[in-house]
Each structure stands twice: as structure tokens, then as C-alpha cells.
Amino acid sequence: MSTYSLEHKKYIKKLRREKIIVTFFRFLIIVIFLVGWELLAQWKITNTFLSSSPSRVISTTIGLIRDGSLFHHIGITLYEVGISFMIATLIGILVASILWRMPILARILDPYLTILNSLPKVALGPLIIIWVGASMNSIIFMSLLISAFITIINIYNGFLATDQSYITLLRSFHATKWQIFKKVIFPSNYTTIINALKINISMNLIGVIMGELLVSKSGLGYLIMYGSQVFNIDLVITGVVILGIISYLMYFIVDKLEVFVANKRS
């Protein structure tokens, strides 16, 4: 005998139907875009020298796979993104925790965090190359500059927005700040941290590509820059398409992590 009520079954069925509809239309939008893009190119309505086409992108991708360069460039970019993502996440959680623990320090640093977060990081590119060197280190450093500050701000604001009633309850039992942080602040902000990771992963990818455009001799950013220098628009757009796929896969992984954490807590 089923333990679920009829209303609950209807609700679950509705959720499944909505998920199917959302997935279908997401896929349909991509198909319409690609088909329309290809038809415009085939009918000579658009100039393929300037806009390429899906068939030319596929052809370019196959060429890159055959000469062995595609996965090399993807691997370099993923490595740089992974390193900068882990460092930025650790810095974000650690600094946000310190700022929550030390409100006076948070008040002192608040305007500086805002200023540093709003600085145009691309303009600092030449300085970063001079300071760190024209190497992978400067690419990772560029990515950290873009992602670390926004991660700190988002997580710290999540800590501040924690329900005060729980904190008051623990204080009534003479709990220490560490105990409050461990039992209330951090557990209450799993969703905030996951959302910060979603933003962080995209910011890291942007930072890495910006760095590769400046100094790298490998990676997808270099591939795009090289394509633009030799006027190979097919190569440029192929690099952009691959970046879009990688960005989606990274977001998908973090999204599944959010679902896993939510299921563990329920």
C-alpha cells in the first residue's frame, strides 16, 4: 500500500512534467539556433568569413582533434580554472569567516573590498605580467583577482543574513563564537556557499581566458587569440563554442553538488 497521498502523487507528477517541459524547450532553443545559423550560412544570407557556421565549426573541431591540439588546449584551460577555483573558494570562505568573527575588521575592510572588486582587472594585466611573470602563474593570479573578492563578499553577506533567533538561542546557553559559527552560521549557509561557487566557477573561467589572451601560448584563450590574429574566424568561434560547453558542464557539476547537499540535509 502506498504511503503517498493522491495530492502528493499529483504534485510529484506535476514536477516531473515541468522538468520535461523545461528540458525540451532548452534543447529546442539550441536546435533552432543551430539550424537557423546553418541555413543562413548555406543560403549565403550571412558571410561565413565573418560568422562561420555550425558545419564549419564541426569541421574545425575535427581538425583540432586529429592534430592532437584540442584536448591539450582544453586540458590547460581546465587545469588553470580548477586551481584558481579551489584557491578562490578557500580564500572566500576563510576571509568571510574571519570577517564574521571580527566585525570591526569587517567594517574597516568593507570599502576596500568593494573598491578591489570593482577595479577593471583587464587594465591591471600589464602590471600582473610584470609582478608575476608572463607564465601560468599570472593567468591564475588574474583569475583570482576576478573571483576571490566577489566570493568573499557573497559568502560574508550570507553569514550576516543568518537568522538571528538561532544565534540568540545559542548565546543564551553561553555558546562561544566558534560554536555558533560551527552549529549555526556555516550550516545555515550551505546554499549561499553553493551559489557563490556557481558565480565563482564562471568568474574563474572568465579570468583564465582573459589571462590566456594576454600571455598564454596554450589554452582555449590562446586558441581564440591566435585565430583572430590569422583571421581564422572558424577557429575563433570554435573556441568560443567549446568554452560555452565547458561553462555549462561546470555549472552542471556545481548544480548537482547543490542537489546532493540539499538531499543530505533533508
Q: Where are the domains of the chain?
A: 1-46, 58-265
Question: What is residue 4's predicted lDDT score, i.e. its pLDDT?
Answer: 61
Measured CA angle at 156 (ends 152, 162), to 5 deg: 155
Does the 58-265 domain belong in CATH 3.30.70.141? no
CA gap 91, 80 in Å, rounded? 16
Question: What is residue 114's predicted lDDT score, i.e. its pLDDT?
Answer: 87
Question: What is residue 39's predicted lDDT score, i.e. its pLDDT?
Answer: 92
Neighbours of 73 (CB within 10 A): 22
| Secondary structure tally for the chain: helices H, strands E | 13, 0
Question: What is residue 1's predicted lDDT score, i.e. its pLDDT?
Answer: 44
- Residue 233's alpha-carbon distances to 59, 98, 174, 248, 255, in angstroms, are 13, 47, 65, 23, 33
Neighbours of 237 (CB within 10 A): 20
- Mean pLDDT, consecutive 10-residue stretches, the chain (266 aa), reads 66 85 91 92 85 89 89 91 92 93 91 85 80 84 89 91 85 84 86 86 88 84 89 90 88 81 70
Q: Do 85 and 254 form a contact (C-beta atoms < 8 A)?
A: no
